[in-house]
A and B are shown apart, each in its own frame.
Chain A
Amino acid sequence: MPRHLWFTVLRPLSSRRRALLGVGSFLIPLAVWCAVSYLPFLWKPLVRVAEPGDVSWFRAGMLVDRHEFAKEAKRVAAEGGVRPEGTRANPIYLPAPHEVARALYTAFTTRPVLRGDAWLHESLWLSIKTIFLGFMFSSAVGVPLGILCGAYAAAARLTEPVVDFIRYMPAPAFGALMVAVFGIHLEPKIAIIVIGTFFQQVLVVSNTVRRVDPCLLEAAQTLGARRRHLLLRVIVPNSLPELYNDQRILLGWAWTYLIVAEVVGVSSGITFFINQQAKYRNFDNVYAAIIIIGIIGLTTDQVLGFFGQRIFGWRSLKPSRFRTLMTRLFADRYTVLFPDEPEEAKA
Chain B
Amino acid sequence: MTRGEHPWTARRGWGAARRVLPRDSRLRTGVAIVVGLLVLGSVGPSLVGPAGLSLGAAGYSQPPSAAHPFGTDPTGRDVLTLLVYGTIPTLTIGVLAGGIGTGIGVILGLLSGYVRGPVDTVIKGVADVAVTIPTLMILVVLTALVKTQSIALMAIIIGLLAWPYSARAIRAQTLTLRERGFVTIAVLSGRNAFEVMFLEILPNLLPYVMASLVGAVSGAIVAAVGLQLLGLGPITTPTIGLMLQYAFQYGAVTRGMWWWWGPPTLFLVLLFGGLFLISVALDAFSNPRLRRVEAA
A and B together in one complex: no
